[in-house]
């Protein structure tokens, strides 16, 4: 006789996949119980089982009404006309009515084991046992389950680009350097490259631009790191940087100067942490938004948003607060077993910024890194992850 696993499916595919990865054995029959709203999620879980679980498993999806208790009980009963060696019931996903209907159906037929995943722990409710989670899903499996996509494939960073982002980060090591870069962007770069706010000039105009840089060693290091540049003065010719970065358009080059460099820098630092999986430029469909960087350790996710906004910029404090709210909301929307929002910014007043959120996101452990943290950022992020790994 085969074992039967009945699993209710809600809006979080990862929790269902995690508990199934622990319960499944070769030869099991799995019935995913879903509503019309969660049917597509159940389909992805079934596809994941077929492609990722190296076992002979029979799976099917039972679509039931979300709130009709009698109908749920009746439909589930049709699966219980056979004798099974064991019946395992997972009520982690779906509505409470789905769970009640399922448990009531099984309870009238055969003895069963009841499971529930909560706060990273699987509980066998019949005997009040705790099952440790041993299996971990890969980042690609999690992305598939959530139907996330990459808006751009995160390829390896070229040596020149890595050198340039490290130099810009070093410019920001001092408050004076950070202000110098900010003032150059505000007074020289943006007026020269934009037709009007938030709109770049056309490609032809941008390709011929020569931008003077402040006369200091930081900016000299930056411009001298651009290979095959034409000018010998401390002048940034946009065409030289465009060629060095190998960006598709000059608009992409401008976006890189205007703040994309920070995402590349943070990504380059985090990918040095050997025990996490990481990628960037993540795009979701429903709801539709983008994430700068996503990392995974065990079955937990870290969602990272990067911004070059400073406290001293016009409306800087409120804009930083909005950015942090945004990444917290994204973390809640994405779900996961546990999801941790992180903001990397140019704030020099992190205590004030963090105080804004002490009573806002009590259910989420978040972190904010500022300008001073850019030095040895990899180690600081790794140390923080160590504090949450055991949760």
Give the model confidence (pLDDT) of 190-248 as tens digits. Answer: 999 999 888 999 999 999 999 999 888 888 889 999 987 766 678 899 999 999 999 99
| Whole-number percent of the chain with pLDDT over 90 | 51
Give the predicted TM-score (pTM) of the model: 0.86
Mean predicted confidence (pLDDT) in 284-308 = 85
Work out the pLDDT band at 110, boundaries 50, 70, 90: low
Positive or negative, the CA dihedral 33, 35, 36, 40 is negative
Residue 155's pLDDT is 59
Nearest to 129 by CA among 149, 139, 114, 140: 114
Work out the pLDDT band at 83, boundaries 50, 70, 90: confident
Domain 136-391: CATH class, spelled out = alpha beta
Nearest to 76 by CA among 1, 8, 3, 123: 8
Residues 6+ apart with CB under 8 A from 22: 122, 131, 133, 134, 135
- Judged against a pLDDT cut of 60, whether residue 12 lies above it is answered with yes
Q: Mean pLDDT for the chain?
A: 88
In this structure, how many other beta carbons lie within 10 angstroms of the beta carbon of residue 314? 7
Beta strands in 269-358, from DSSP E residues, in sequence order: 277-284, 289-297, 300-306, 338-344
Residue 234's pLDDT is 80
- Judged against a pLDDT cut of 90, whether residue 311 lies above it is answered with no
The Cα 329–Cα 273 span in angstroms is: 26
Mean predicted confidence (pLDDT) in 37-63 = 92
Positive or negative, the CA dihedral 179, 183, 189, 195 is positive
Residue 286's pLDDT is 60
CATH number of 3-134: 3.40.50.10770
The Cα 39–Cα 45 span in angstroms is: 10
Q: Identify the residue with better confidence: 358 or 68.
A: 68
Work out the pLDDT band at 152, boundaries 50, 70, 90: low
Domain boundaries, the chain: 3-134, 136-391
Beta strands in the chain, from DSSP E residues, in sequence order: 3-8, 29-34, 58-63, 86-90, 113-118, 121-124, 129-131, 149-150, 194-196, 199-200, 210-212, 235-237, 277-284, 289-297, 300-306, 338-344, 367-369
Residues 6+ apart with CB under 8 A from 125: 114, 115, 116
Residue 131's pLDDT is 87
Residues 6+ apart with CB under 8 A from 68: 97
Residue 364: Cβ-neighbour burial (10 angstroms; 0-12, 13-18, 19+): middle
Work out the pLDDT band at 353, boundaries 50, 70, 90: confident
CA angle 91, 67, 147 (to 5 degrees): 60
- Judged against a pLDDT cut of 80, whether residue 302 lies above it is answered with yes
The Cα 270–Cα 361 span in angstroms is: 24
| Residues 33 and 94 sit within 8 Å (Cβ to Cβ) | yes
Residue 20's pLDDT is 94
Residue 205: Cβ-neighbour burial (10 angstroms; 0-12, 13-18, 19+): middle
């Amino acid at each position: 006789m085969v074992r039967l696993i009945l699993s209710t499916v809600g809006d979080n595919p990862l929790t269902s996949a995690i508990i199934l990865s622990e319960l499944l054995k070769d030869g099991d029959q799995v019935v995913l119980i879903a509503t019309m709203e969660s049917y597509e999620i159940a389909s992805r879980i079934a596809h994941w089982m077929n492609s990722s679980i190296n076992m002979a498993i029979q799976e099917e999806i039972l679509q039931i009404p979300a709130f009709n208790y009698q109908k749920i009980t009746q439909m589930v009963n049709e699966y219980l006309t056979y004798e099974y060696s064991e019946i395992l019931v997972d009520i982690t996903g779906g509505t409470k009515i789905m769970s009640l209907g399922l448990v009531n159906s099984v309870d009238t037929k055969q003895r069963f084991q009841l499971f529930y995943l909560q706060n990273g722990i699987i509980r066998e409710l019949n005997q009040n046992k705790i099952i440790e989670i041993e299996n971990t899903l890969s980042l690609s499996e999690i992305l598939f389950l959530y139907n996330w996509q990459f808006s751009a494939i995160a390829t390896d960073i070229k040596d020149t680009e890595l050198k340039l982002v490290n130099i810009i980060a070093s410019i920001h090591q001092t408050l004076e350097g950070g202000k110098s870069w900010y003032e150059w962007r505000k007074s020289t770069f943006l007026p020269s490259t934009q037709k009007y706010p938030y709109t770049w000039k056309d490609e032809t105009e941008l390709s011929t631009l020569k931008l003077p840089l402040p006369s200091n060693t930081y900016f000299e290091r930056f411009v001298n790191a651009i290979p095959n540049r034409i000018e010998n003065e401390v002048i940034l010719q946009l065409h030289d940087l465009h060629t060095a970065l190998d960006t598709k358009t000059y608009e992409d080059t401008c976006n890189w100067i205007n703040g994309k460099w920070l995402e590349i820098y943070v990504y380059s630092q985090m990918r040095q942490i050997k025990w996490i999986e990481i990628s960037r430029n993540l795009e979701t469909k429903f709801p539709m938004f983008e994430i700068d960087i996503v990392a995974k350790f065990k079955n937990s996710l870290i969602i990272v948003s990067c911004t070059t906004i400073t406290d001293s910029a016009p409306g800087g404090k409120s804009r930083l607060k909005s950015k942090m709210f945004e990444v917290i909301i994204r973390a809640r929307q994405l779900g996961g077993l546990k999801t941790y929002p992180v903001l990397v910014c140019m704030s020099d007043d992190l205590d004030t910024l963090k105080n804004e959120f002490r009573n806002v996101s009590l259910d989420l452990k978040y972190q904010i890194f500022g300008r001073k943290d850019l030095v040895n950022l990899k180690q600081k992020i790794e140390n923080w992850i160590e504090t949450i790994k055991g949760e």
